[in-house]
Chains A and B, each alone.
Chain A
Amino acid sequence: MRATLADRAWYLLTTALRMYRDHADAADWMRHQIDRFEGALRIAVTGPACSGKSTLINALVGDEVAPVGTGFVWYQDGPTPRATLYPPGEAERELPVTRVERGLRVEVPGWLPADADPGEIVVDWPARALRHAVLIDTPAADLDGGTMARVRADADAVVYATPTVAEADLLPLRPGPGSSPGAMVDTILVLSRADEVGGSRIDALSGARVIARRRDRGIAVRGRWQTVVAVSGLLAHTARTLSEAEYAALAALAAQPGADLAGHLLSVDRFTGQAFPVPVDAPTRAALLDRLGLFGVRLASTLIRTDGASQDTLPGLLLQHSGLIELRDAVRELFLDRRQVLKARSALRGLRMAVQVWPHPDAGELSAGIEQALASGHELRELALLASLRAGRTRLSAERTDEARRLIGGYGDDIGTRLGAPEYLDPTRAWTLTEESLHRWRGDAENGTLTEDQRRAARTVVRSCEGLLTQLAHTDRR
């Protein structure tokens, strides 16, 4: 039976553990890798300085849990809020945490010398979003690649938040030397601070989405990221945690006729100034600005005034505008649904590095196995194609796109979902369906009128179908 990438990774990990059992350090590390392989998916949120990483994490989690300290912070699901500090070279210790109104506050130890390693902090926080994945907040990705290298080693997938799409900001994403061609399957690019595009025009968010789509479709994407999403972290986070008082203030603002209010919404100074027509006091206004930004205030008041958004519907509308839903979809489809593949990939990469660091006389065969698994892993190609189809980089006809996504596991990994058939599918029917699809897509793969891109996509689908046939044959035998 043709093994999946995950199976192969597992096999190679256990072989390596056996091989290195005499070497204390290496064996420890292998065991740690095996634990990690069986654990939750790790998603790192990184990017250049001041790109809104922490706000994005807060938006994803739904509570204000970031930022904490200056180093790497791991957020995982836990029954009670807890924070543990792991300083380098010392024993771990608990940090005092307090639940504040909207989230969590952690007492980070005070002053450290400038270039001291602050150590890592692990925060346990009960949140639904954290049940499926562990989020990692990172310090700013510096240009020399040190932080990025560490991020890629520790995390299985990367969400890269950048305020602009300038080359300077995207430099840390360039593929490192000797990285495999499938390097990009673990990265999603997020245009954070989307509300600031174009000087926070009223249509800033759609402008941001246009930029994102343009970047998504470009050829230069190959090898750098799976997809681009425009998100306003601030809006998303506030939308999820909007309070009654805030809604009341916004409603009061919206009650004012638009023309009168427009003048006062021109700038933050005017908004928080003395002469304000609406009976909302200055501290509340300042707080609103902090939470929503001027753009958010403008948008919310417009939504209430023109669309009649109520306290129940406003958060939903804001969330929709903010682009968080697209981000969550992308993360789910490209990361969470493909946990096995991503975890296998990071396990194999870690193993490859370990074999280089600790040479072993029998390591040749192991290295060969790792390289073969990484190069030929069909699941990785499926994942890349999935993203391509999503972004529209690869264009097939509408129903073909849907069928392709289905067959390569875009909606689910098991045979039934892949074939688009009901659950209890008898083997003969499954076989027939698969054969038909195979035949159809093979025709596409050899069709001269299609572009090379489309033919490549067809070949990937063909291979998936072949995989399905093998699987069916195996179950048949049993």
Chain B
Amino acid sequence: MATFWLDVLDETIRACAAHGRTDLAHELQHRRAQLLDPRLRVLVVGAPKQGKSQLVNALLNAPACPVGDDLTTTVPTVVEYADEPSGVQATDPVAHQVVGVPRQLLRAGLVLVDMPPLGRAGPADALLATADAVLLVSDAGTGLSAGEVEFLRYAVQRCPTVILALTKIDLAPRWRQVAERTRMRLAQAGLNTPVVPVSAALRLRAAGTDDVALNAESGFPELVGRLQREVSTKAQRLAPHTAAVLTATAIESLVAPLVAEHATPPAEHTTAALQLRDLQHRHDGLRRHASRWQSALADDISDLVSDIEYDLRDRTRRVLRTVDEFFDVADPALAWDSFVPWLEENLRYAGQANFAWLVQRSHWIATRIAADFAGYRPEVLPESTFWPAADAFGGVAELERPALGEFTLGQKVFTGLRGSYGGLVMFGLLTSVAGLPLINLVSLGAGALFGSKSLRDEGSSRLLRRQSAAKAAVQRHVEDFFLKFSKDCRDVARQVHRTLRDHFLTLAEDLQEEIADAARLAKDTADRAAVEQDRRRQELQREFDGLVALRHKTRLLTTAATAGVAA
């Protein structure tokens, strides 16, 4: 037992150093040295004017500490054994006085430190760390205040041996009730601090008159007995108990960050997984998208082709109607030469307009498809799709002059004569009845009339024939033109279709490859993070196990020490 606590303490110090808590290690070293010191250092603390200095003086029956009406104790006073009464001022670590008094109680190893009131002496931490035991002094007239209970709770963690002294019981009429209430309050707070009611005034008076009964009434024998026992059994009781508490606290503070780290899931893992999931999602989306745009493209192109054809048809029909109207009136034989350029020009114009529209529509289709891809990457459309092959629109044959025929002079004479024959004869016969010769003026005149009429008829029927021939010729030509042009347009459209499809296919493939690469990378990172996390977890577990073993030892120490203390 004697060395078990020392071993546990040493091991804890090592563990603190190993975990990087050099501050804890230092403190435990310091306390270790103090616990090995056979002297018992008791801190006397409390609120102002509770009677601390008077208590110390009464314990020793010597005016070691300054006592006065106003606030008197301003620096700590350390009272220890000396063969001759002495007093010195010291400044390490804070300004304090050291008083030497030749008393049996002190010779056994007791050192009393009378502190200035709580709140004045600087940080309580440092002071509690230098004490083996704490004597909290409170007035029996007013009982424990909330602040004092808080202080007790705090002190017990740093310095587990605490005694509460209720002073001035010679003046407080109900001190027994106050003591009982204080005990209950401490029990409720979970503190098992012994409560000792004392009266310094009675004790000093008893010491002055050697009155044993009065001394007993002062309550000091119990306090002295307790202190003596603590001194004599320091190595067996106080040291293990204190060591147990200190190591337990230290281990708890070492374990806490480990537990915290264990509990929180590492952030890296989750981000890598999220990334991977996101990439896979995009990959699937891309694949679904492919079929969609291909069918959309095909639909658009077929729409385009039918629309273009209709448009061309419409335009050529309009040209034909104009031609018909023109040739209803004009004479092709005369107007043909001027007509042909007009026709060529109109046809050319129709073709150009139609083609322009084709180009525009194709652009629009391509842009729409590309917009779907823009979600993945902003894309530049290939310009080369839209210029047709150089020979696309050549090769429409020239308009041929139709066989218009001529109305020569001989034919005219013949026709006139033939026509006039009937008239001549008719009117000649009529006039011969009247006694005129067959060929006379009337009949000649009639013959001329009839002849000119048939000449005219013949002319107009020839004209009509010419006109219809011209119309037919034009119609044929326009038909040819339409056929050729529409075929060329369809070719262009198909070419556009193919080019766009190929282009977007390659694009989609590139994207998929990109995503696959990124997914591979993300998976690598996630794997590596998982490996790292496992490694870290194992490390944590190892450290944790080490600390658990240490804690177990501490628990053993605690149970043994508590049993010793309770004894």
Contacts and interface: CB of A to CB of B under 8 A. Distances in A.
Nearest to B218: A267
B497 to A, nearest CB: 75
A199 B142 contact: no
Contact of B217 (A198, A267, A295): A267
Interface string A37-81: 000000000000110000000000000000000000000000000
* B interface majority secondary structure: loop
B71 A166 contact: yes
A164 B68 CA distance: 12
A268 B169 CA distance: 8
A21 interface: no
B250 to A, nearest CB: 32
A289 B49 contact: no
Interface in A204-239: 207-208, 210-211, 214
B153 interface: no
B49 to A, nearest CB: 4
Contacts of B48: 164, 166, 168-169
Given A197-B69, A210-B69, A286-B173, A167 B120 contact: yes
A447 B202 CA distance: 58
Nearest to B50: A164
B69 A198 contact: yes
Interface in B165-201: 168-173, 175, 199-201
Interface string B139-163: 0011101000000000000000000
A267 B169 CA distance: 8
B117 interface: yes
Contacts of A166: 47-49, 71, 117
B217 A199 contact: no
A165 B69 contact: no
Contact of B171 (A50, A167, A200, A208): A200
Given A196-B141, A199-B201, A266 B71 contact: no
A164 B171 contact: no
B92 interface: no
B173 A290 contact: yes
Given A199-B201, A270-B217, A168 B70 contact: no
A438 interface: no
Contacts of B168: 196, 199
B69 A294 contact: no
Interface string B202-231: 100100000000100100000000000000
A269 interface: yes
A266 B202 contact: yes
B51 interface: yes
B54 interface: yes
Among A208, A211, A266, chain B packs the most CB atoms within 10 A around the CB of A266
Interface string B28-52: 0000000000000000000111010
A163 interface: yes
Contact of A211 (B70, B202, B217): B70
A273 to B, nearest CB: 10
B394 interface: no
Contact of B71 (A50, A164, A286): A164
A211 B48 CA distance: 15
A293 interface: yes
Contact of B170 (A197, A208, A268): A268
A272 B201 CA distance: 18
Interface in A375-399: none
Contact of B70 (A50, A165, A169, A272): A165
Interface in A272-328: 272, 286, 289-290, 293-295
A354 B47 CA distance: 40
Given A267-B202, A289-B173, A214 B70 contact: yes
Contacts of B71: 164-166
B119 interface: yes
Contacts of B141: 196
Nearest to A204: B69
Interface residues of B, number: 31
Contact of A293 (B51, B171, B202): B171
B173 A208 contact: no
Contacts of A196: 141, 168, 171
A318 B170 CA distance: 22
Contacts of B173: 268, 272, 286, 289-290, 293-294
Contact of A207 (B69, B143, B202): B69
A268 B69 contact: no
B57 to A, nearest CB: 11
Nearest to B172: A268
Contacts of A290: 173
A72 B56 CA distance: 41
Contacts of B142: 49-50
A268 B68 CA distance: 23
A269 B69 contact: no
Contacts of B49: 163-164, 166
Contacts of A167: 119-120
B171 A266 contact: no
B219 to A, nearest CB: 10
Contacts of B54: 199
A211 B119 contact: no
B347 to A, nearest CB: 85
A269 B169 CA distance: 9
Nearest to B202: A267
Contacts of B143: 50
Contacts of B200: 199
A471 B69 CA distance: 49
B171 A199 contact: yes
Nearest to A169: B48
Contacts of B119: 167-168
Contacts of A50: 142-143, 145
B217 A269 contact: yes
Nearest to B139: A196
B203 to A, nearest CB: 11
Contact of A268 (B47, B120, B171, B214): B171
A292 to B, nearest CB: 10
A168 B214 contact: no
Among A164, A168, A199, A295, chain B packs the most CB atoms within 10 A around the CB of A199
Nearest to A270: B217
Contacts of A270: 217
A294 B47 contact: no
A388 B141 CA distance: 35
Interface in A422-441: none
B271 to A, nearest CB: 45
Contact of B199 (A169, A210, A214, A267): A267
Contact of A168 (B117, B169, B170, B217): B117
B405 to A, nearest CB: 109
Contacts of B118: 168
B69 A208 contact: yes
Contact of B51 (A49, A199, A214, A294): A199
Contacts of B170: 266-269, 294
B150 to A, nearest CB: 12
A167 B70 CA distance: 12
Contacts of A267: 169-171, 199, 201-202, 217
A207 B200 CA distance: 19
Contact of A266 (B69, B70, B205): B205
Contacts of B175: 268
Nearest to B48: A166
The 4 A-B residue pairs with the shortest CB-CB distance, nearest first, are: A267-B170, A166-B48, A50-B142, A207-B69
Interface of B: 47-49, 51, 54, 68-71, 117-120, 141-143, 145, 168-173, 175, 199-202, 205, 214, 217
Given A50-B143, A196-B141, A199-B51, 12 more contacts: A49-B145, A165-B70, A166-B48, A166-B117, A198-B68, A211-B70, A266-B205, A267-B217, A268-B169, A269-B217, A289-B173, A293-B171
12 contacts: A166-B48, A167-B120, A196-B171, A199-B168, A199-B171, A199-B201, A208-B69, A268-B169, A268-B173, A268-B175, A269-B169, A295-B171
